[in-house]
Structure 1
Amino acid sequence: MKRNIFGLISTVIVFVIFSQSLFAQGKASFGGYVRDAKTEEPLIGATVIIEGTELGAVTNVDGYYEIKNIEPKSYTVSASFVGFEKASKFNVTVRSGGIPNVNFELSEDVEQLEGVTVRANPFKKNEETPLSIQKLSPEEIATYPGGNNDIAKVAQSLPGVSGSVGGFRNDIIIRGGAPNENVYYLDGIEIPNINHFSTQGSAGGPVGLLNVSFFEGVTLSSSAFASQYDNVLSGVLQFDQRDGNRREFRNNFRLSSSEAAITTEGPLFKKKDEEKSNTSFIASVRRSYLQLLFQAIDLPFLPDYWDYQYKLTHKFDDYNELVFTGVGSLDDLTINAPDDFDAEQQAVLDQIPVIKQWSTTSGLSWKRRFKDNSGFMTTALSTNILNNQFQQFEDNVNQEGLVFSNNSQEQEVKLRYNLTKFMEDWTFNTGFIVQEAIYSNNSELLDPNRGFNYDNSFNFTRYGVNAQASRNFVNDRLGLSAGFRVDGNTFTETGNEIYRTFSPRFSASYTFDEKRKWTVNASVGRYFKIPPYTILGFTDQNNNYANKDAEYIQSDHLVAGIEYLVTPSSRFSIEGFYKKYDNYPVSVVDSVSLANLGGGFSVLGNENIESVGLGRTYGMEFLYQRKLTKDFYAILAYTLYRSEFTGFDKDEYLRSTWDNRNLLTFTGGYKFGNNWEISARVRYLGKTPLAPVDQEATLQSYPNIIRDYSRQGDLLLDPFNQTDIRIDKKWNFDNWTFNVFFEVQNAFVQDLPSEPSFGLRRNDDGEVQQPRELVRVTDVSNSSLLPNLGIVIDF
């Protein structure tokens, strides 16, 4: 079946290449809205041009423009309006099959300079988060090399962001913090999980579940979080979904070596004589082929998944908008016994869990702009569920001899309100969140030294309030922002003592020169996160919640940096950062900070802990970024850092699992004529410190692998170094576009690091030898070259 898929793709490619001379390249068009960045009011009469051409348009009474009869390729598009800074969008790829709206938000030009055209900084930040904020455009996401349309992998190209050991999983590790220290938002609706087969209590997994066709942009903040974001210690990742097309129906179909996806969008309830509808939708569904590939190459496990995503938008009038959005997944990880015995595959077969998991997030939000343009408010009601069936057996093939079972469900129901008010030169933001947490777990671990067995369920209320004030001074050169939030809950012993979670934050930025090229930024803040439900729900032998005395994890950030705008499309920046942690959960059984865990497929936190751990991460970060100009774009980032955490001994800081010391990423591409593009990603991650396996304890608990965390950091894996290359080619026909991409992961066949593997001693037939003995499995080469061929059709 896999060969049939490749055969179909190859046939289509050959047909298009040899038949393109029979078709004239179709012309294209695109449109969008131009609004005031502060009030979101439509700007009537704004000018939008395609730079380097004579094509352009002027916005109508709705702030909408449309440019027609365009030759399909990539352009820089600019918008301008009297009294506002000119703004540009780079790498706008125009296709005859249609492209999403190209929207602009223009900021007022408060400083009129004689003879100088003031252009908005394309990397511009706001007063609340002036540091460590990175944005990716839809085109940068869609053509990311080695990402396979996976937004979590794309995020790993950003400064200070790394993945787990070997690059297999989609853990987002920011500046040495643990994978579960981040929060994710979809149009203001929080999503706990963005990956298939996610690690409960953490957030990573092997495959992302969000559809890149939905995004208008992605923003990562790795410091200076605005006060409306709760439960975050390291990073806020915001996914801004675009609205569905309000004028016509459009479709996108994607087929690659591992998956197939279809996205459709268009207007609803549109009358024949109407140019546009007030209601639009966009929806997608995706199906994996990984299980077929893994079966064909005889791997011991088969990951099978579906996911879906949707957004429905209705505009009541110019001031009120209702959005209903959601995302979900169905995951099934099954066992596949290889035909022939292999020691390494047998070890994987012994230790891999059987996972059946599903997740869903849905939310309804109402946004109201005040008619006097003095601000806006957003009210959102949402719910999210993670259902996780996780089992391990002594005999995984026949599912006999239960070793560990975790059958749990996490659910949250959230009401979030946010008010933004403009008062002269001040911007005030305030809001609150109330959420009901519902958790149940039937969990059993059969282990002579660390076993447990419980069945419980509980629910409790979490709540928080926030406020922030921001203002620009000195003709917009000096930006200041100060805010705070407090959070509480009705479950933990000190949860209602909200003074314990008082989290102030302050940020400042100053632009030195009149052309606004040099800017210095700084921020300081305190942030809190409640421990995962897997920790709070753990029950001891007396059926008591063992961790009701758990404290909120605390993280204090101090960040300062300088940015220089080299050209209107490129910049470099240098930042220094320091994060200090308090109250980190420490495992009572293993005496290790849970900051070191969460990068595997097991359940994080299903154990007794004490909130006594300390931690610190600190370092320097360099970034050079160039938007697409003269057919070339690039991001070069280097982070030098340390990450250390304590166990019960607060005086002994040990290297954390994420303390790679050196992180280097390069992502860039070049666009040739005739819609050809080549791009590459290079990642280097320094040595990974781990705790060695306690072989005696592991033999008693096998297939559970037990580590000696008193020696955390003694085992150092070799550096991770991988290069991915991607080639894209587009053909534009009348009203549809055909795109073929070919990418190669690990193009230079570099040997990727992997953890030492252990299994039971067996004979050549795979039978366990007596007496039982744990042996190191001979390492095999981990230097495979992974090709991926795919097509994308827009119509």
Structure 2
Amino acid sequence: MNRIQLFNFLLAAILMLFIVPKSNSQPVAQSTQTQTTPITQTIKGNVYDAQTMEPLIGATVIIRDSEPLLGASTDARGNFHISRVPLGRHSLQVNYIGYEPVIIPEVMATSGREVVVDIGLRQSISELGEVIITPEIVKNKPLNSMATVSSRSFSVEETRRYAGGMDDPARLVSAYAGVAVGNVQNNAIIVRGNSPKGISWRVEGVEIPTPHHFAGGNVAGGGIVTLFSSQMLDNSDFHTSAFPAEYGNALAGVFDMNLRTGNSTVHQHTFQAGTMGLDIASEGPVVPGSSASYLFNYRYSTLGLLTDLNLIPTDQEFRYQDLSFKFNMPTRNAGTFSLWGVGGIDKAFEPLQTDPQMWDNDWDRVSFDWGIEMGAVGLSHRILTGKRTYVNTTLAATGIRNRMETVRQDDDLVAHDDLSAIDNSGNLSIGSYISHTFSPRFTTQTGLTVKRLQYNLDINSTLESDPSTYRNLVDERDHSHVVEFYTQSRWSLSQNLLLNAGVNTGYFALNEAFWVDPRIALRLNLSGSHSVSLGYGRHSQREELKVYLVRAEANRSDALADTDIHSNSSALADTDIHSNPSALANADIQLNSSTLPNVDLRLSGAHHFVLAWDWQVSDNMRLKIEPYAQFLFDAPGIADSSFSMINYQQDWAFSDVLENNSIGRNVGLDVTFERFLHRGYYFLVTGSVFSSRYKGGDGVWRNTRFNKGYVANALVGREFAFRDSRRILGVNTRLNFIGGERVSPVLEEKSRERELVFFDETRAFSNQLASTVYADLSVTWRMNRPGYSSIWALQVKNMLGRATAEGYNYNYKTESVELDKSVIVVPSISYKIEF
């Protein structure tokens, strides 16, 4: 399919949103409908106090606009059960005396599985008879009550429904304001001009390593797709600035992921097969009649299939698999225990190309063998210690085994070791927090986490691909620890004024760093539909352990190259990546070989300021405008150089001596105009304009690598239901407009002389690549049948076939430096059955 055909296909898909009949159309004969036995489903769940986690007994849950009215009351454990619910989308209204009523909109009931909805209510702070409380529609507001600004929740359903989401939370949030993507083939995200490495991931409240398949292959903080299957996830939060005090070790953003609890009464299963691989999930009661449940999911994928079909223009072979699980075990008097885990195994390999005639650039003479294993497992316990207090404790272990080997052939076809990087690291942590509600107006939460960091790092590399310079960069096997403490409070000062405040503090033993990060946010409701929020947060983040553990002898002056030139010799990293010691050339470094010159680096920090205006235009539509400013400080950089970790993308062989000499400034404006899914139709339009600047050790203000300038998204979708929702068609499209990445000018003469790419870092990031327009499409066709439902799905990433810039390479045949571009269209066709 050529680009004109792709464009026509997209245009037809958009037009279909407006010309297909409305969702209440009935294309079959009336006589057939009356003979058809209606298919119904069960909606059940739990209603609890959102602040104390105490179950609410006697709360009423009704399905709005149902005829006859369907509903139920919660039992002694806060559970409700509504049977014989017609298929399709429904809105649930929940009421309880003394609590603010809420509406859960557009809950989808299908024939394949029961619907489980857990609902937290907040106590009303108004005096009896003071005001008439109307139900609040709960949609996209953060689940974390301590989050006031720059935060929103997202649902699992949206990861598939949103075009371009590809069942991946990281790709899903790229449609949100203030979030940009690097390229099509990587899910690394740039939040408000910050490096993707500034993102923190949490699962069930535990910080985990970056949970991506092939994490860090091209970009630190990114990968191909996350380890999380949509079958496992519950509604979760995404934060982009001034995070609540419980979140530490993050400068750019926080994913706070929740695993859902399996069905405790009915066994349910899901099987999916498609071009991206296999996905198998199962859930149900551990023992019939008990409240304990299990949930697990296994995925296996082979991107080699796409390579064989020439859909990915590369000889590289990638394979990955992952497993996730959660056992939930409530007890009568000892609280609730849950055992959970996520893990993945990745393997990639490319053999040597032994025909020099096939060499276009330096990468063609290199082979690699890469294996990475990542896992996290935890045992959590939550118990109510009173009507207003609960305690949550988690013992968790996380680990990663990462091995990369590259071999490079010289002109005589002799293979030499080029890179050997081994990272076997793990954390063992125990964390606990206590939440207490003093009154409906005032709640506090205080937590403490202690982590033991175990590491085994052995990194060896050449300098500028010269085999004579192959040397050890990092060789450390030891342990350290981190202690983190936080306390935060939510205080309703009045009916219309809310204050969230707290502090995150801790100690990192490796470099003896101690931090104190205050956070505060205010929200003022100006009227029933307008609100203004103001937030501030100080944030700190550690670097990768390999940065602190660089050995001094890796920077001997006799191994250094010319000044202020960064090579792109890292095999898998995007080009324009800083290479080890080139910027230290001609420096007379006299360091003892046993020292670690970076071990005393302070943590990078940032001050976040956010102002937000939120207008609830209607029950299903909102407009939000957020201006912000972020001031970065103490970022590591090289002395008298433009290099700063603010611009860090990836470098497998990092070995530079650093100091805390860099500052940065990110300022911008985010706009969100959104219609929530209602009566089969939704849209999301977001736009961001921003400036991201930094000053390194040479004292010059420059654009950062990630200063794209602007990003805009237009996402629209329709659902069409037929035959009493037995057939549901979903069509979703997305357009993404994004500014180009900043790059440094190429040193043409030196690059031709050395047949490698060198950049002029005295003019770092002064050039900008061309802007890009991406288009994505998602089409689903659901068929509900008695006892099961099946879904066909087509998802296309970059359906217009726009070229993606992959970096600069020296071309042996043209004897010049060229910007490599490739057209990567990612189609995913799948069939799923739920039963």
TM-score (norm 2): 0.84
Change in CA separation of 1:396 and 1:565 when aligned onto 2, cut-off 3 Å: farther
Change in CA separation of 1:127 and 1:137 when aligned onto 2, cut-off 3 Å: closer
Distance between the aligned counterparts of 1:350 and 1:90, measured in 2?
56
Which secondary structure state, in structure 2, belongs to the residue aligned with residue 212 of structure 1?
Answer: coil
Match in the other structure for 1:767: none
State which of 619, 627, 633 in structure 1 corresponds to 2:682. 633
State which of 689, 693, 704 in structure 1 corresponds to 2:742. 689
State which of 139, 145, 166 in structure 1 corresponds to 2:163. 145
Distance between the aligned counterparts of 1:127 and 1:60, measured in 2?
25
Match in the other structure for 1:256: 274
Alpha-carbon distance, 1:697 to partner: 5.8
Given that residues 50 and 121 in structure 2 are in contact (C-alpha distance below 8 angstroms), is that contact kept between their aligned partners in structure 1?
yes
CA RMSD of aligned residues (A): 2.9
How is 1:346-357 mapped onto 2 (pairs within 5 angstroms)?
A: 348-350=363-365, 353-357=368-372
Match in the other structure for 2:500: 481
Cα distance per residue 1:465-520 (max 9 Å; x no partner): 22223210222x1111222122212221x42xx3xx2211211111122x3x1111
Alpha-carbon distance, 1:98 to partner: 0.5
Match in the other structure for 1:35: 48
Match in the other structure for 1:238: 256
State which of 626, 643, 646 in structure 2 corresponds to 1:595. 646
State which of 769, 793, 796 in structure 2 corresponds to 1:744. 796
Code of the residue aligned with 2:258 in structure 1: it is: D
Match in the other structure for 1:58: 73
Match in the other structure for 1:769: none
How is 1:490-501 mapped onto 2 (pairs within 5 angstroms)?
A: 490-492=509-511, 494-495=512-513, 498=514, 501=515
How is 1:376-775 mapped onto 2 (pairs within 5 angstroms)?
A: 376-395=390-409, 400-424=415-439, 425-447=441-463, 452-454=471-473, 455-475=475-495, 477-492=496-511, 494-495=512-513, 498=514, 501-513=515-527, 515=528, 517-541=529-553, 542-587=593-638, 591-598=642-649, 600=650, 602-603=651-652, 605-650=654-699, 652-674=700-722, 675-695=728-748, 705-749=757-801, 751-762=802-813, 774-775=815-816
Code of the residue aligned with 1:612 in structure 2: it is: N
Code of the residue aligned with 2:405 in structure 1: it is: Q
Alignment partner of 1:214 is 2:232: yes
Match in the other structure for 1:13: none
Alpha-carbon distance, 1:315 to partner: 0.8
Which secondary structure state, in structure 2, belongs to the residue aligned with residue 139 of structure 1?
Answer: helix
Given that residues 34 and 59 in structure 1 are in contact (C-alpha distance below 8 angstroms), is that contact kept between their aligned partners in structure 2?
yes
Alpha-carbon distance, 1:116 to partner: 4.1
Given that residues 148 and 500 in structure 2 are in contact (C-alpha distance below 8 angstroms), is that contact kept between their aligned partners in structure 1?
no
Given that residues 366 and 409 in structure 2 are in contact (C-alpha distance below 8 angstroms), is that contact kept between their aligned partners in structure 1?
no
Which secondary structure state, in structure 1, belongs to the residue aligned with residue 736 of structure 2?
Answer: strand
Cα distance per residue 1:334-391 (max 9 Å; x no partner): 1167899997976554467432111111111111122x32221111111111111112
How is 1:142-181 mapped onto 2 (pairs within 5 angstroms)?
A: 142-164=160-182, 166-181=183-198
Code of the residue aligned with 2:484 in structure 1: it is: G
Distance between the aligned counterparts of 2:206 and 2:284, measured in 1?
22
Given that residues 335 and 349 in structure 1 are in contact (C-alpha distance below 8 angstroms), is that contact kept between their aligned partners in structure 2?
no
Which secondary structure state, in structure 1, belongs to the residue aligned with residue 258 of structure 2?
Answer: strand
The alignment-based identity, stated in percent, is 21
Which secondary structure state, in structure 1, belongs to the residue aligned with residue 547 of structure 2?
Answer: helix
Which secondary structure state, in structure 2, belongs to the residue aligned with residue 162 of structure 1?
Answer: strand
Distance between the aligned counterparts of 2:114 and 2:697, measured in 1?
55
Alpha-carbon distance, 1:440 to partner: 1.7
Which secondary structure state, in structure 2, belongs to the residue aligned with residue 673 of structure 1?
Answer: strand
| Alignment gaps of 5+ in structure 1 | 1-17, 763-772
Given that residues 640 and 698 in structure 2 are in contact (C-alpha distance below 8 angstroms), is that contact kept between their aligned partners in structure 1?
no
State which of 268, 275, 281 in structure 1 corresponds to 2:286. 268
Given that residues 687 and 712 in structure 2 are in contact (C-alpha distance below 8 angstroms), is that contact kept between their aligned partners in structure 1?
yes
Alpha-carbon distance, 1:253 to partner: 1.3
Distance between the aligned counterparts of 1:233 and 1:644, measured in 2?
15
Given that residues 30 and 68 in structure 1 are in contact (C-alpha distance below 8 angstroms), is that contact kept between their aligned partners in structure 2?
yes
Alpha-carbon distance, 1:162 to partner: 1.4
Change in CA separation of 1:327 and 1:617 when aligned onto 2, cut-off 3 Å: same
Code of the residue aligned with 1:231 in structure 2: it is: N
Alpha-carbon distance, 1:777 to partner: 4.5
Distance between the aligned counterparts of 1:396 and 1:30, measured in 2?
66
Code of the residue aligned with 1:27 in structure 2: it is: T
Match in the other structure for 1:194: 211
Match in the other structure for 2:4: none
TM-score (norm 1): 0.88
Which secondary structure state, in structure 2, belongs to the residue aligned with residue 535 of structure 1?
Answer: helix
Alpha-carbon distance, 1:146 to partner: 2.4
Alpha-carbon distance, 1:575 to partner: 0.9
Alpha-carbon distance, 1:86 to partner: 2.1
Which secondary structure state, in structure 2, belongs to the residue aligned with residue 208 of structure 1?
Answer: coil
- Aligned residues between the structures: 747
Distance between the aligned counterparts of 1:676 and 1:27, measured in 2?
19
Alpha-carbon distance, 1:776 to partner: 3.1
Cα distance per residue 1:648-669 (max 9 Å; x no partner): 123x221111111111122231
Which secondary structure state, in structure 1, belongs to the residue aligned with residue 201 of structure 2?
Answer: strand
Distance between the aligned counterparts of 2:264 and 2:326, measured in 1?
13
Alpha-carbon distance, 1:142 to partner: 3.0
Code of the residue aligned with 1:485 in structure 2: it is: N
Which secondary structure state, in structure 1, belongs to the residue aligned with residue 170 of structure 2?
Answer: helix
Distance between the aligned counterparts of 2:56 and 2:363, measured in 1?
60
Alpha-carbon distance, 1:438 to partner: 1.5
State which of 306, 313, 324 in structure 1 corresponds to 2:321. 306
Change in CA separation of 1:292 and 1:730 when aligned onto 2, cut-off 3 Å: same
How is 1:271-310 mapped onto 2 (pairs within 5 angstroms)?
A: 274=289, 277-297=290-310, 299-310=314-325
Match in the other structure for 1:766: none
Match in the other structure for 1:14: none
Cα distance per residue 1:213-254 (max 9 Å; x no partner): 111212111122222211111211111111011101111112
Distance between the aligned counterparts of 1:128 and 1:509, measured in 2?
11
Given that residues 718 and 753 in structure 1 are in contact (C-alpha distance below 8 angstroms), is that contact kept between their aligned partners in structure 2?
no
Distance between the aligned counterparts of 1:146 and 1:340, measured in 2?
39
Alpha-carbon distance, 1:682 to partner: 1.8
Change in CA separation of 1:663 and 1:654 when aligned onto 2, cut-off 3 Å: same
How is 1:13-28 mapped onto 2 (pairs within 5 angstroms)?
A: 26-28=39-41
Distance between the aligned counterparts of 2:735 and 2:352, measured in 1?
35
Distance between the aligned counterparts of 2:461 and 2:355, measured in 1?
31
Change in CA separation of 1:61 and 1:683 when aligned onto 2, cut-off 3 Å: same
